[in-house]
Amino acid sequence: MSEILVTGATGNVGRQVVAQLLATGAAVRALVRDPESAGLPEGVEVVGGDLSVPGTLDEALTGSDTVFLIWPFLTTERAPAVLEAIARHARRVVYLSSSGVNENAERQTDPINQLHADMERLIEECGLEWTVLRSNTIASNARGWAEQIRTTHVVRGPDIAATAVIHERDVAAVAVRILTDDGHAGAKHVLTGPQVLSRAEQVESIGEAIGRTVRFEKVPVQVARERMLADGRPPALVEALLASAETRPESNVITPTVEEITGAPARTFRSWAQEHADDFR
């Protein structure tokens, strides 16, 4: 059986993709930088490699027919070489993109959506059979608030337009169906959760899950920049995140895609908060 290669396999979405693929009986291979510390389930073949060094990918790709691609960088600099390596071995690629991509726009609203738009274009041109999953904000991003909630019960940061937050398990469930089914070539699926929520509403749901009053406090962008840099985040990432906060437009889009593809309705952010309550206590 040809193996499915999962990149980003130790991340929030990637781990779910690996686990759910294994549950279907698929042969799964995980690309990780450090196999010794991957901590992935029994049954997955863990292979060392690094997307930032395309020459390290051939071993992981040999025998892999399909690739689930998460792009972890802020530029597409190495993407052509990575896609060339994938095309030498695999038949198709499933790419995790952003629901904020507007393919009718000459330029996207912020650097992160621009990155995804550029990656989509490269993938469409690389000669592989492809499917794009345009995911809305993923619920697990809220884990970045855990320390503030545990210590102060206040989340301070820049606000961002409300969005239909999606559970990472639902992103993975859609990915697994597409990775194991040939019926989605050339499709761009927009994945959302069932409710449009502001950051304040997400924080409130976490508070309800842990039985405490927790609130969101918006801070000016310059203050947020100083705090994020002081925390040691890379300057380029800080600027990309802040650009999203300042320029990303509001979106009330809610799609039925999760249920249409998986047969189960999309999970609520409230359910995510209840599942992960211990992370915030």
Question: What is the chain written as a DSSP string?
Answer: -PEEEESSTTSHHHHHHHHHHHHHT--EEEEES-GGG--PPTTPEEEE--TTSGGG-HHHHTTEEEEEE---SSS-TTHHHHHHHHHHH-SEEEEEEETT--TT-SS-SSHHHHHHHHHHHHHHHSSSEEEEEEE--BGGGGGGGHHHHHHHSEEEE-----B--B-HHHHHHHHHHHHT-STTTT-EEEE--SS-B-HHHHHHHHHHHHTS--EEEE--HHHHHHHHHHTT--HHHHHHHHHHHHHPPP-----SHHHHHHSSPPPPHHHHHHHTGGGG-
pLDDT score of 84? 97
pLDDT score of 243? 83
Q: What is the gyration radius of the CA atoms in the chain, in angstroms? A: 19
Q: Please state the separation of Cα 270 from the chain's center in Å.
A: 19
Domain coverage including residue 17: 3-135+167-191+253-266
Residue 57: give its domain's CATH number: 3.40.50.720
Sheet of 64-69, strands arranged across: 45-48, 28-32, 3-6, 64-69, 92-98, 129-135, 188-191
Residue with tokens 């904000």: 137
Do the domain assignments include residue 67?
A: yes
| Structural domain count of the chain | 1
Do the domain assignments include residue 272?
A: no
Do the domain assignments include residue 95?
A: yes
Do the domain assignments include residue 144?
A: no
Burial class of residue 159 in the structure, from the number of CB atoms within 10 Å of its CB (0-12 exposed, 13-18 middle, 19+ buried): middle
pLDDT score of 222? 87
Do the domain assignments include residue 258?
A: yes
Do the domain assignments include residue 69?
A: yes
| Tens digit of pLDDT at every position of the chain (281 positions) | 589 999 999 999 999 999 999 999 999 999 999 999 999 999 999 999 999 999 999 999 999 999 999 999 999 999 999 999 999 999 999 999 999 999 889 899 889 999 999 999 999 999 999 999 999 999 999 999 999 999 999 999 888 889 999 999 999 999 999 999 988 999 999 999 999 999 999 999 999 999 999 999 999 888 888 888 888 888 988 888 888 777 777 788 999 999 999 999 999 999 999 999 999 99
pLDDT score of 237? 86
pLDDT score of 1? 58
Do the domain assignments include residue 234?
A: no
pLDDT score of 170? 98
What predicted TM-score, i.e. pTM, was given to this entire model? 0.94
pLDDT score of 87? 96
